[in-house]
Amino acid sequence: MRFSFPIILEYLKWVFLFFSIFFFSPSLSDPRTSIANLMCQTTNLTANGIFFTNFVSVMEHLSQLITKQQWGYYSIQSPPPSPPIFGFAQCHKDLSETDCQLCFAEARTKLPRCLPAARGRIYLEGCFVRYDDYNFFEENVNQKDDLVKCSPITKLLSDQDIQLEFAERVKEAVRNVTETAMSTSRGGMGEAEVKGGMPGAYALGQCWNTLNSTGCQVCLEDAWKDVEKCLPGAEGRALNAGCYLRYSSQKFFGNWEEEKNGFNGCASLVLALFGAYIGYGRLSKRRKERKKLAGVPSAVNKSNLNFKYEVLEQATDYFSASNKLGQGGSSSVFKGTFPDGRIVAVKRLFFNSRQWVDDFFNEVNLISGIQHKNLVRLLGCSIEGPDCLLVYEFVPNKSLDQILFDKNKTQILSWRQRFNIILGIAEGLAYLHEGSKVKIIHRDIKSSNILLDDNLTPKIADFGLVRCASADKSHLSTGIAGTLGYMAPEYLLRGQLTEKADVYAFGVLALEIACVLQNVWRHYKDGTITEVFKSSFNGDDFQNKETSNVLQIGLLCTQTSATLRPSMSEVVKMLMIKGSAIPSPKQPPFLNASVLAPTDSTMSSAMNTDNTDWHTTIDVLPANSTTEPASMASPESDEASMIKKCEPSMERGKRLIYHSSTPPPAFYLLVDLRRDLEGKMEKIGEM
């Protein structure tokens, strides 16, 4: 097979680019989010709803402090019987601001596993978060809870002479770390490398900022006494109340001062991943195929989708907090104003993995090619600077959740407005499923991903989790991603993804928009469905038949069996055509997980999916429950009595969900639910 000179030249260009990146070794962003240890104090439990609310509030304040200064502490004192709560968080000082925020975000999703314990702490390799029921801020050592973790001896350290040499290097490195940390008045940190042979020794010590130099010295010296016992193991960690100490035969920390002057993280990661692949594709395939495999960065740069990073930086006033519109787990959104007066929304993404790179190009590729009145329009992107940026049309009237769940009720939607929003979302989803060139499954339909313009026209946003489905496949098998409470049962428990997962999420959302919070199925069966929320609407636009239809459609969409749910195009017809036949729902919209989970381990795996962005209108029963859902039980049955006992905790859960700035994960609600069920635990077994 022969190649023309231009093709070979182009191939060499990509090879040179790839090897330049590889050999010059740019330091990519690493927030060090792997868990060193999660400690929960199980002997001191609380099922107090106020404590859970305070926990959420403390985490929110710590998040703000981490963003501002990379550490912080906060406490809330509540009247008895609720215990006080003290919270602390700090990143290791070698992390960048972005990596620090990513590390804290990861810790924040894992720490609630300790609830209902009143005490918990989590050590990630790059940060530390703790909550407790007493003031521990100046505590340097806690002999009861402090922990040391050792790794085994590796092949590299199998020789006894090498072991002795390695031990001496580790001692020297730790001594340097301690001296460096003590030289700082508060929150000292030191990192050291001792090379000159094989293997090298690397150490990092970090004291929390609440400790002075004396307390830091006490903590690190105590930590060394414990971690020294790990030698000649290749790694050792001491996880103390006031500090973190680690040594290793491999370098595990970064020099942020050097990284700031290096090749920018986003561009280097993108080019390293795609450079060699693109070069090989262009060399080995025909010209037509080579064009299809051409890299997204090149395609973007040659199209009108490309924006200069500096232009977007200036438009957002250098990503000023005053222009910040919102923040998610992997991105922040800012309002940007161009010199000509045009207003846009700029999404600033934080990358720390290949998956996030995939999500970025997924979003660029898909929504740059689709246009619909109910979909947010992508205007372009930038991959030139230290962050990857997406540019969207600006939608001025907030997201739907900010209006629906506004505790101040500054804007109450009329029924007509709610109906039009529901219809618009349905039309947007129908276009994604059936109107575009490929079937697109959004995977994360929820109220916070619905934006409203000046006319309250809904626009579906956040396409980072979308998946394309081919016509010859009944479903996709994929990792779980999305928001608990909006996730279809077959997807949550088995990972089976079809467009019916979006239909399920739409059904949940439609019920939320219609102001229905509970007992939907019971009212539907009793013929009193519109009485649930009739008093919520004022004026002449409230129509019994129309509202009844919407709720019936919501129930249809949230049935447990995917085959019983309608398609989105059918939903649009049912909403738009008056008098159209609407099938009667055959199943209540409540997830009885034991019906779907083949084994306990499957359910455990599903429920370990972490997502703090959580709210739901779907009642959740314990995984081992053999009862029917509440709506199916007769009034005289024990099951109905059990469900009655759940109502207080469900009401408390709703208050937590709708009146907290950060909705709680499902585990909070299940803990509270368990307390109400304790009198009937013999009926359902252990949860």
Could you list the residues known to form a binding site for ATP, using ranges: 347
Spatial separation of the C-alpha atoms in residues 199 and 153, rounded to whole Å: 12
Concatenated DSSP letters of 265-277: HHHHHHHHHHHHH
Spatial separation of the C-alpha atoms in residues 610 and 105, rounded to whole Å: 11
Active-site residue (options: 99, 222, 359, 444): 444
Q: Which of 310, 146, 124, 153 is nearest to 220 (CA)?
A: 146
Q: By the 8 A CB rule, do 98 and 29 touch?
A: yes
How many helices and strands (H and E) does the chain possess?
23, 21
Is 444 catalytic? The answer is yes
Spatial separation of the C-alpha atoms in residues 117 and 567, rounded to whole Å: 44
The token duo for 433 is: 């499923």
Give me the amino acid identity at 659.
Answer: H
In 530-665, alpha helices (H)? 544-557, 568-576, 593-596, 600-607, 638-658
Spatial separation of the C-alpha atoms in residues 203 and 192, rounded to whole Å: 5
Give me the amino acid identity at 414.
Answer: S
Only one residue has tokens 């182009």, namely 10
Q: Which of 388, 130, 131 is nearest to 244 (CA)?
A: 130
Spatial separation of the C-alpha atoms in residues 607 and 592, rounded to whole Å: 13
Q: By the 8 A CB rule, do 63 and 73 touch?
A: no
Spatial separation of the C-alpha atoms in residues 447 and 658, rounded to whole Å: 12
* DSSP-derived 3-state class of residue 476: strand
Give me the amino acid identity at 215.
Answer: G
Spatial separation of the C-alpha atoms in residues 500 and 494, rounded to whole Å: 14
Residues 245, 189, 138, 96: is their CA dihedral positive or negative? negative
Only one residue has tokens 């991603």, namely 481
Spatial separation of the C-alpha atoms in residues 17 and 395, rounded to whole Å: 39
Where b means 16+ CB within 10 Å and e means fewer, 383-404 reads bbbbbbbbbbbbbebebbbbbb
Residues contributing to the annotated binding site: 347
The vertex-675 CA angle with 491 and 52, nearest 5°, equals 75
Using CA atoms in the order 472, 478, 481, 485, what is the torsion angle rounded to 10 degrees?
70
Name the residues annotated as catalytic: 444
